[in-house]
Amino acid sequence: MPPTTLEDRSFLRALRVQLGVLGALMMRDLHTRYGRRNLGFLWLFVEPAILGLLVGTMRILRESALPGGINVIAFAVIGYIIYYAFRGIVGRAPTAAEQNEPLLWHARVTLEDVMIARTVLETAAVMLATIVFLVAIGIYFEDWPTSWVQIGLGIVMMGLLAHGVAMIVLALTQFGVGVVERITHPLLYISIVFTGVFYMVWWMPYKFQAITLLLPIIHVFEFIREGQFGPGQPYHYDLRYVAIWIIALNVYGGFALRRAKPHLEV
């Protein structure tokens, strides 16, 4: 039998345990979410691709171009994939506890770990899908992104925003606010309309611009689009504003989840 190392209590070991738990949870999520044999992972690519083609075809049929002359398909596909990360992380939050309940019987596995593993996995998957689509668009339209790093950073910000919201949603669900579970999905669908997935701030009438910019997610979209389409368009974003939201949502979400924990026990 290989020697056991459970007694060692150093910080490095604690870190290794933590990383081991997160890795194990990510593998578990990969297996149940994307499936091992079936092509579940493919949906991550198929869904935005179908959408991009539909939007693109519609625009071509109506012979309408986007303001600023940017590539319609690139705009729709990248907007949707990145929104997919937000929807995936927040939309799956209400079931995070019950789906992993058997694993929470291990003292080393906490609900926070479950949430972190999901966010990391979802963000990484969306990052990968974005790269694939950007390369495809680059090859087909000869339209390459201005800054890959900026797009990557934007996706990370989207993941962090979603993580905070997801923790709050999960905490509310655990407090027995059953309605949260029911309205999360409709709200996520409606939010496509006003979170900047399919428009840019400068397309708006001036008086609406200030209102749309209250939502941090719109700043992230603008930031990503600057990385994609480069100068030549006016972009509206304030990274400090996004950072404040990320910190506020995650701190509040962390506390809410802690408060909700006693309600988890069956």
Partner 1 sequence: MLRLTSVRKTFVEGGLVREVLRGVNATFMVGDTVGILGRNGAGKSTLMRILAGVEKPSSGQIERNMSVSWPLGYSGGVHPALTGADNARFIARIYGRPADWTVDFVRDFAELAEEIHAPVRTYSSGMKSRLSFALSLAVDFDCYLLDEITSAGDARFNAKCQQALLSRRRRSALILVSHNADTVRTFCRYAAVLNGGRLHFHENMDEAFRVYEQL
> Is 4 or 38 the residue whose CB approaches partner 1 more closely?
4
Rounded CA-CA distance 117/32 in Å is 13
Instruction: Determine if 24 is a binding residue for partner 1 (CB under 8 A).
Output: yes
**Nearest distance in Å: CB 183, partner 1:** 24
Of 245, 93, 108, nearest to 171 by C-alpha is 93
Among 14, 68, 98, 101, binds partner 1 (CB under 8 A): 101
Identify which of 65, 84, 33 has the alpha carbon closest to the alpha carbon of residue 195: 84
Cα-based angle 184, 260, 266 (whole degrees, multiple of 5)? 100
- Which of these ranges, 20-28, 181-189, 219-227, 249-257, lies near partner 1 under the rule CB under 8 A? 20-28
Q: Does 95 bind partner 1 (CB under 8 A)?
A: no
Of the pair 142, 265, the CB lying nearest partner 1 is at: 265
* Token code pair at residue 48: 């935005």
104 binds partner 1 (CB under 8 A): yes
Residue 225 half-sphere exposure toward CB, CA atoms < 13 A: 30
Single out the residue of 12, 63, 102, 232 in contact with partner 1 (rule: CB under 8 A). Answer: 102
**Considering beta carbons, is residue 104 or 124 the nearer one to partner 1?**
104
Nearer to partner 1, 37 or 207 (CB): 37
Contacts with partner 1: how many residues (CB under 8 A)? 29
Stretch that binds partner 1, among 104-112, 147-155, 221-229, 232-240 (CB under 8 A): 104-112
Query: Considering beta carbons, is residue 175 or 203 the nearer one to partner 1?
Result: 175
Cα separation, 144 vs 230, whole angstroms? 10
- For residue 228, give both structure tokens: 């994609």
Burial 96-132 (b: 16+ CB within 10 A, else e): bbebbeeebeeeebebebbbbbbbbbbbebbbebbee
In angstroms, give the least distance from the CB of 261 to partner 1: 8
Angle at 181 between CA 47 and CA 36, to 5 degrees: 45
Interface residue with partner 1, options 12, 107, 149, 214 (CB under 8 A): 107
Q: Binding segment for partner 1 among 26-34, 60-68, 70-78, 165-173 (CB under 8 A)? A: 26-34
Report how far residue 37's alpha carbon sits from residue 154's, in angstroms, rounded to the nearest whole number: 32
Token duo for residue 32: 């149940």
Using rule CB under 8 A, residue 31 touches partner 1: yes
Positions that interact with partner 1 (CB under 8 A): 1-2, 4-7, 16-17, 20-21, 23-24, 27-28, 31-32, 100-109, 261-262, 265
